[in-house]
Amino acid sequence: MIRYVNAAQVKTFAAEVAQHLPGPFEVQTFPQRWEKAAVVLVNGEERIALLHRTYGECSNDKITFMGLSLSADLSDLACLSQERGSYTTAALTRSPKAVAAQLGRNLLPHYRTQIASQKTAEAHHAARRAARKAEAEQITALLPGSEYTPTSSKSHYDSELIHFSRPDGAKGTLAIYANRGGFSYTLNFGPDTAFRDGLIVLLGKHYGTPS
Protein backbone atom coordinates (compact mmCIF):
# COMPACT_ATOMS: atom_id res chain seq x y z
CA MET A 1 0.00 0.00 0.00
CA ILE A 2 1.33 3.41 -0.92
CA ARG A 3 0.29 5.74 1.88
CA TYR A 4 3.53 7.21 3.11
CA VAL A 5 3.14 9.22 6.30
CA ASN A 6 5.89 11.47 5.00
CA ALA A 7 6.53 10.93 1.29
CA ALA A 8 9.52 13.30 1.22
CA GLN A 9 11.13 11.40 4.11
CA VAL A 10 10.67 8.06 2.31
CA LYS A 11 12.19 9.41 -0.91
CA THR A 12 15.18 10.88 0.95
CA PHE A 13 15.61 7.67 2.93
CA ALA A 14 15.55 5.63 -0.30
CA ALA A 15 18.23 7.83 -1.85
CA GLU A 16 20.44 7.44 1.23
CA VAL A 17 20.00 3.65 1.26
CA ALA A 18 20.80 3.51 -2.48
CA GLN A 19 24.23 5.04 -1.82
CA HIS A 20 25.21 1.94 0.16
CA LEU A 21 23.77 -0.74 -2.16
CA PRO A 22 25.89 -2.69 -4.67
CA GLY A 23 25.20 -1.33 -8.14
CA PRO A 24 24.12 2.13 -9.29
CA PHE A 25 20.60 2.18 -7.83
CA GLU A 26 18.68 5.39 -8.43
CA VAL A 27 15.43 6.64 -6.95
CA GLN A 28 12.41 6.96 -9.24
CA THR A 29 8.76 7.67 -8.52
CA PHE A 30 5.72 6.21 -10.26
CA PRO A 31 2.07 7.28 -9.94
CA GLN A 32 -0.17 4.75 -8.21
CA ARG A 33 -3.78 4.70 -7.03
CA TRP A 34 -5.40 7.52 -5.05
CA GLU A 35 -2.95 10.10 -6.43
CA LYS A 36 -0.06 8.50 -4.58
CA ALA A 37 3.48 8.13 -5.94
CA ALA A 38 5.50 4.97 -5.30
CA VAL A 39 9.20 5.32 -4.51
CA VAL A 40 11.25 2.69 -6.35
CA LEU A 41 14.97 1.92 -6.32
CA VAL A 42 16.02 1.07 -9.89
CA ASN A 43 19.19 -0.60 -11.17
CA GLY A 44 18.55 -1.81 -14.72
CA GLU A 45 16.06 -4.68 -14.53
CA GLU A 46 16.21 -4.73 -10.74
CA ARG A 47 13.44 -2.63 -9.18
CA ILE A 48 12.80 -2.44 -5.45
CA ALA A 49 9.64 -0.67 -4.32
CA LEU A 50 9.25 0.96 -0.92
CA LEU A 51 5.78 0.44 0.53
CA HIS A 52 3.79 -0.25 3.66
CA ARG A 53 2.44 -3.81 3.68
CA THR A 54 0.17 -3.13 6.66
CA TYR A 55 -1.41 -0.17 8.42
CA GLY A 56 0.80 -1.04 11.39
CA GLU A 57 3.92 -0.39 9.34
CA CYS A 58 2.47 2.93 8.27
CA SER A 59 2.01 4.09 11.87
CA ASN A 60 5.21 2.60 13.32
CA ASP A 61 7.86 4.05 11.01
CA LYS A 62 8.36 0.69 9.22
CA ILE A 63 8.86 0.36 5.48
CA THR A 64 8.97 -2.73 3.27
CA PHE A 65 11.41 -3.11 0.39
CA MET A 66 9.86 -5.41 -2.22
CA GLY A 67 11.60 -6.73 -5.35
CA LEU A 68 9.39 -6.31 -8.41
CA SER A 69 9.03 -8.96 -11.08
CA LEU A 70 10.31 -8.36 -14.61
CA SER A 71 6.70 -8.21 -15.81
CA ALA A 72 5.64 -5.55 -13.28
CA ASP A 73 4.19 -2.65 -15.27
CA LEU A 74 4.63 0.48 -13.18
CA SER A 75 2.47 2.45 -15.62
CA ASP A 76 -0.44 0.40 -14.22
CA LEU A 77 -1.85 2.33 -11.26
CA ALA A 78 -2.66 -0.94 -9.46
CA CYS A 79 0.70 -2.56 -10.17
CA LEU A 80 2.12 -2.69 -6.65
CA SER A 81 -1.06 -4.09 -5.12
CA GLN A 82 -0.66 -7.11 -7.44
CA GLU A 83 3.02 -7.85 -6.72
CA ARG A 84 4.01 -10.72 -4.42
CA GLY A 85 7.79 -10.72 -4.68
CA SER A 86 10.66 -11.14 -2.24
CA TYR A 87 10.69 -8.49 0.51
CA THR A 88 12.23 -7.37 3.77
CA THR A 89 10.93 -4.82 6.27
CA ALA A 90 13.07 -2.21 8.00
CA ALA A 91 12.64 0.72 10.37
CA LEU A 92 12.84 4.20 8.91
CA THR A 93 14.70 5.18 12.06
CA ARG A 94 17.65 2.86 11.32
CA SER A 95 20.73 4.19 9.56
CA PRO A 96 20.59 3.94 5.74
CA LYS A 97 23.87 2.00 5.77
CA ALA A 98 22.43 -0.60 8.16
CA VAL A 99 19.27 -0.92 6.07
CA ALA A 100 21.35 -1.32 2.90
CA ALA A 101 23.26 -4.13 4.62
CA GLN A 102 19.93 -5.73 5.57
CA LEU A 103 18.81 -5.60 1.95
CA GLY A 104 22.09 -7.15 0.87
CA ARG A 105 21.57 -10.06 3.28
CA ASN A 106 17.82 -10.63 3.27
CA LEU A 107 16.48 -9.31 -0.02
CA LEU A 108 18.92 -9.07 -2.92
CA PRO A 109 20.04 -12.75 -2.99
CA HIS A 110 16.42 -14.00 -3.04
CA TYR A 111 15.32 -11.29 -5.42
CA ARG A 112 18.10 -12.01 -7.90
CA THR A 113 17.21 -15.71 -7.78
CA GLN A 114 13.61 -14.70 -8.48
CA ILE A 115 14.70 -12.63 -11.49
CA ALA A 116 16.88 -15.47 -12.84
CA SER A 117 14.01 -17.96 -12.48
CA GLN A 118 11.64 -15.62 -14.29
CA LYS A 119 14.13 -15.19 -17.13
CA THR A 120 14.44 -18.96 -17.49
CA ALA A 121 10.65 -19.39 -17.51
CA GLU A 122 10.24 -16.62 -20.09
CA ALA A 123 12.93 -18.19 -22.31
CA HIS A 124 11.11 -21.53 -22.19
CA HIS A 125 7.83 -19.81 -22.95
CA ALA A 126 9.36 -17.95 -25.90
CA ALA A 127 10.78 -21.21 -27.27
CA ARG A 128 7.39 -22.93 -27.01
CA ARG A 129 5.69 -19.99 -28.66
CA ALA A 130 8.19 -19.99 -31.53
CA ALA A 131 7.65 -23.73 -32.01
CA ARG A 132 3.85 -23.29 -32.02
CA LYS A 133 4.13 -20.48 -34.52
CA ALA A 134 6.28 -22.56 -36.89
CA GLU A 135 3.87 -25.49 -36.60
CA ALA A 136 0.86 -23.25 -37.29
CA GLU A 137 2.53 -21.71 -40.34
CA GLN A 138 3.39 -25.14 -41.73
CA ILE A 139 -0.17 -26.44 -41.26
CA THR A 140 -1.63 -23.28 -42.80
CA ALA A 141 0.58 -23.74 -45.86
CA LEU A 142 -0.76 -27.29 -46.24
CA LEU A 143 -4.41 -26.33 -45.76
CA PRO A 144 -5.72 -24.18 -48.64
CA GLY A 145 -8.03 -21.37 -47.59
CA SER A 146 -7.02 -21.52 -43.92
CA GLU A 147 -6.01 -18.44 -41.97
CA TYR A 148 -3.58 -18.18 -39.09
CA THR A 149 -3.42 -15.18 -36.77
CA PRO A 150 -0.61 -15.31 -34.17
CA THR A 151 -1.83 -15.06 -30.60
CA SER A 152 -1.14 -11.88 -28.65
CA SER A 153 -1.61 -13.57 -25.29
CA LYS A 154 1.32 -13.88 -22.86
CA SER A 155 -0.18 -16.76 -20.92
CA HIS A 156 1.88 -19.92 -20.49
CA TYR A 157 -1.23 -21.85 -21.55
CA ASP A 158 -2.01 -19.97 -24.75
CA SER A 159 -2.31 -21.53 -28.21
CA GLU A 160 -2.13 -20.69 -31.88
CA LEU A 161 -5.44 -20.76 -33.76
CA ILE A 162 -5.95 -21.69 -37.40
CA HIS A 163 -9.35 -20.85 -38.90
CA PHE A 164 -10.67 -22.74 -41.91
CA SER A 165 -13.93 -22.74 -43.84
CA ARG A 166 -15.66 -24.12 -46.93
CA PRO A 167 -17.51 -22.22 -49.67
CA ASP A 168 -20.83 -23.44 -48.22
CA GLY A 169 -20.06 -21.59 -44.96
CA ALA A 170 -18.99 -24.51 -42.76
CA LYS A 171 -16.23 -23.34 -40.40
CA GLY A 172 -13.80 -24.75 -37.90
CA THR A 173 -10.68 -24.00 -35.88
CA LEU A 174 -7.55 -25.92 -35.00
CA ALA A 175 -5.78 -24.92 -31.77
CA ILE A 176 -2.11 -25.81 -31.38
CA TYR A 177 -0.50 -26.15 -27.96
CA ALA A 178 3.18 -26.76 -27.24
CA ASN A 179 4.60 -28.63 -24.27
CA ARG A 180 7.76 -30.50 -23.37
CA GLY A 181 6.63 -33.53 -25.32
CA GLY A 182 5.88 -31.66 -28.54
CA PHE A 183 2.45 -30.48 -29.70
CA SER A 184 -1.16 -31.18 -28.87
CA TYR A 185 -4.15 -30.09 -30.93
CA THR A 186 -7.80 -29.25 -30.36
CA LEU A 187 -10.18 -29.34 -33.33
CA ASN A 188 -13.52 -27.53 -33.23
CA PHE A 189 -16.18 -27.56 -35.93
CA GLY A 190 -19.92 -27.11 -36.22
CA PRO A 191 -22.59 -29.51 -37.46
CA ASP A 192 -21.00 -31.20 -40.46
CA THR A 193 -21.83 -34.86 -40.86
CA ALA A 194 -19.59 -35.44 -43.87
CA PHE A 195 -16.59 -33.89 -42.13
CA ARG A 196 -17.31 -35.81 -38.93
CA ASP A 197 -17.58 -39.12 -40.77
CA GLY A 198 -14.38 -38.46 -42.70
CA LEU A 199 -12.61 -37.60 -39.45
CA ILE A 200 -13.81 -40.82 -37.83
CA VAL A 201 -12.44 -42.82 -40.76
CA LEU A 202 -9.11 -41.01 -40.46
CA LEU A 203 -8.97 -41.61 -36.72
CA GLY A 204 -9.80 -45.27 -37.20
CA LYS A 205 -7.00 -45.58 -39.74
CA HIS A 206 -4.35 -44.08 -37.47
CA TYR A 207 -5.58 -44.86 -33.94
CA GLY A 208 -8.07 -47.67 -34.27
CA THR A 209 -7.41 -51.09 -32.79
CA PRO A 210 -7.44 -53.94 -35.35
CA SER A 211 -10.37 -56.27 -34.77
| Same domain, yes or no: 78 and 145 | no
Q: What's residue 153's pLDDT?
A: 62
Full-prediction pTM beyond 0.85?
no
Residue 2 inside a domain? The answer is no
Q: What's residue 178's pLDDT?
A: 86
Compute mean pLDDT per 10 residues along the chain, 211 residues long, and list them: 74 95 92 77 95 73 91 85 88 94 96 95 89 94 89 70 87 88 90 89 84 60
Q: What's residue 16's pLDDT?
A: 96
**135 three-class SS:** helix
| Same domain, yes or no: 13 and 92 | yes
Residue 120 inside a domain? The answer is no
Total tally of structural domains belonging to the chain: 2
Kindly report each contact of residues 30-36 with a partner whose C-beta sits within 8 Å and lies 24 or more positions away, as own/partner.
30/74, 30/75, 30/79, 31/77, 32/2, 32/77, 32/78, 32/79, 32/80, 33/2, 33/77, 33/78, 33/81, 34/2, 34/3, 36/2, 36/3, 36/4
Nearest CA-CA partner of 11 in 32, 34, 30: 30
| Same domain, yes or no: 66 and 143 | no
| Same domain, yes or no: 64 and 154 | no
Structural domain for 67, as ranges: 7-106
Residue 26 inside a domain? The answer is yes
Residue 121 inside a domain? The answer is no
